[in-house]
Chain A
Amino acid sequence: MASTDTAPPRRRSRLVHNLKRLGATVLALAATFLGLMLITFVIGRVVPIDPVLAVVGERATTAQYEAAREALGLDRPMWEQFVIYVRDALTGDLGTSIRTRTPVAEDIARYFPATLELATIATIFGVLLGIPAGVLAATRPGTWIDQLVRLIGLMGYSMPVFWLGLMGLLLFYGILGWVGGPGRLDAGFEMMFEFDVPRVTGMILIDTALAGKWDIFRNALSHIILPAGVLGYYSMAYISRMTRSFMMNELSQEYITTARVKGMPEWRVIWVHALKNVMVPLITVIALSYANLLEGSVLTETVFAWPGLGLYITTALFSADMPAVLGGTVVVGIVFVALNMFSDILYRLVDPRAR
């Protein structure tokens, strides 16, 4: 960067400092990634399923068995196997699924958009409802609004997500008929989506909107609203609780008193001045809740027959398809770590005090 050469020395030292921090972050990321790989590697090796047998079948001759064993690289020393495992993963090769006979990375690329779509809409729900709820509770501590927000949060921490999903299905689909049932689309629309809509992102709502197929879009919306609402509830519980505590802290600061003394309208003090500063730590919270939704999706996707990454992992688990299970685990782990790092970096960019 040429501009930094002419920058005053103080700025340059800050740049060096930032670069150092970035280096440390990258190093930590690499270490975490290696650890992640090591854990899944160990799990994959101690599992009581013979990966060779799974490939060649029960009736293979000893020669065939040995050949397959060599092809899988299982005859090499452990450390070498691990190096190959990491190298393959870095180039996007997560092995081949035993169940579907396709590369795990390809499978995941097909299943992941469904999870991403679900988690994104859920996070939008959580943010849009959670932040106002937290702010309202913080500005009226001890009132019924505060108690209500607290109760909603506590319930979110105490309800099993799969049960809430089932209850939602029972009420909104079974009894009221307001939403679509399990799956991403009705069976009829499934075929239409398969043949008429080009895959761009793999997310139904975006792809159908791009193709202008609004009837499929509406159907997809009626299917996603319930699972996203269920997951969004958990996200809201977490976000509103954190917003409340950040906001309480912020409202006791002196600049708020100054703003009030100046005669600034109360809504402006809260929703503009205080909220701006609350948003900084909230970014981390939102990123964390987004990452947690990926985890919550394992159970939610089972309940709603949602063909996402969580369902992929559990289905693979039941057919003893270890490459798929471990590949899925690695991907979720990486996304998890990446989101944490991302929020950390964003935090530093937004908050001048953290630089």
Chain B
Amino acid sequence: MNPHRRHPFIRVATILVYFFLYAPILVLVLYSFNASRTNILFAGFIPSFGALQMGGSTVVQSPCGPFHWFCELSRNREVGLAARNTLTIAFISTFISTIIGTMAALAIQRYNFRLKSFSQLSLYVPIVIPEIVMGIGILTLFSQLFGILNGAFGLEGDSRLSLGLGTVIVSHIAFSVPFVTLVVQARLQGFDKSFEEAAMDLGANELITFWRVTFPMILPGVLSGALLAFTLSLDDFVITFFTTGPGATTLPIYVYGLLRRIITPQVNALSTVWIAIVLTVVFLLQRLQSREAK
């Protein structure tokens, strides 16, 4: 018997894994071109410049053809606002959490200090505790803190500290830092100290050594960490739900709100765009990393 022949089970299992991973996404994308408004049944593609079936029998012209729901989406100002919020939060929280997480990883890797194992362990806690617990915790913290601060400084009206973009960003940084630290730490594990010693030996001080040698060498790890933080921030719902305020609605929160009212293929169109963006970003970063590795 050929020892390299694979058991047929392996093929079946592989197909099943990919099916369950991608079938829902494919259905979701398909439904964003649905001619039916209710999104329960697939009523065929929207005909180009043809009739659009509304509910049961209503027929409407669509100037966008099959991309009707995408056009609807682009006219939706609420979605635009939510997308802007989501991206603002994701970029700021990724940037800050990547810096903090990388510094933490370097400190843990390099130095021996008191409470080292404690601080290392405490990094894992936000990863393992349920998000909802963390969300409630952060909410309680903010409301207590803001209550005290508003009282102490006599802040009134618009100047009162309240939940909003700022609180969402802070909470996103809080849950992203441990992930960044773990990813960067894994990269640092195989980092030979003699690279830094060589740089210093050749006349580079600590700062130059970091920017010219250490950072470029750990950059792929830092980028992976940043990518993880970015995607975590993009699709976070639970913690955002607790820490968001008026005017700080993010896409997941917005979609959730839509679903409570009516499910239209607009939600699917939104999700399709979202998936396309995330896939592009991931793909670009992967390319960047594989070039780094060469």
Asked if A and B are interacting partners, one says no
Residues of B within 8 A of A (CB): none
Residues of A within 8 A of B (CB): none
